[in-house]
Amino acid sequence: MNLKQQIQEYSPYNVQEKKDQEIILRYMDTFDNLLTRENEFAHFTASAWLVNKDRTKVLMAYHNIYNSWSWVGGHADGKEDLLMVAIKEAKEETGVVNVEPVSTEIYSIEILGVPAHEKRGKHVATHVHLNVTYLLEADENELTHIKPDENSDVKWMNLEEAVEASTEPEMKVVYRKLNEKLRIFQEQ
């Protein structure tokens, strides 16, 4: 199933996801370069809510650009298999080797505003990430390491601690939603 079909078939969790799903699908009908940063206004990213086996903790990274504790993930960079992008980024950004999807289905979708910033000496204009999140799992006893060009710390946190550790108010909303969904997922 291609990415557009996955997004079409995704069942939104709340009104935010429903509206974001509509906009993402409209963008997919309008632009043919959303999988690359060539589209400087909007492009796809894949994120991971990377939980431990008990699903009581999430692995967070201290993101250098945003000066905040954050989930892990990255740009699609031309790849349509966003699950593989999320897994690759989770491994690269945390050093954890054994990362598995709890489910191969999309866990969450968001359109995230990204303020202008400097990256590797270049100005990056304000833009949006069409983000697809996956629920991934790893062993919390596995060794971790930082990715110095992106983060300065990696740490397992209790689910609520991860929300509170973020200094980005808009991301706290996303992380709370992911935790709510995790509780529901575990009850099924």
The DSSP secondary structure of 51-85, one letter per residue, reads E-TTSSEEEEEEETTTTEEE-EEEE-TT-S-HHHH
CATH superfamily, domain at 3-187:
Nucleoside Triphosphate Pyrophosphohydrolase (3.90.79.10)
Which alpha helices (H) appear in the chain, and where do they start and end? 3-9, 15-30, 82-94, 159-165, 169-187
Per the CB < 8 A criterion, the answer to whether 62 and 68 are in contact is yes
Q: Which pLDDT score, from 0 to 100, does residue 187 have?
A: 82
Q: Which pLDDT score, from 0 to 100, does residue 120 have?
A: 82
Angle at 9 between CA 4 and CA 15, to 5 degrees: 100
Q: Which pLDDT score, from 0 to 100, does residue 13 have?
A: 97
Q: Which pLDDT score, from 0 to 100, does residue 188 have?
A: 76
Which residue reads 């596995």 in tokens? 142
Which residue reads 């390491």 in tokens? 145
pTM, rounded to two decimals: 0.95
Strand pairing of 127-137 and 42-51?
parallel
Q: Give the residue ranges of the chain where pLDDT is below 70.
A: none
| The two structure tokens encoding residue 78 | 């031309």
Q: Which pLDDT score, from 0 to 100, does residue 66 have?
A: 87
Q: Which pLDDT score, from 0 to 100, does residue 1 have?
A: 80
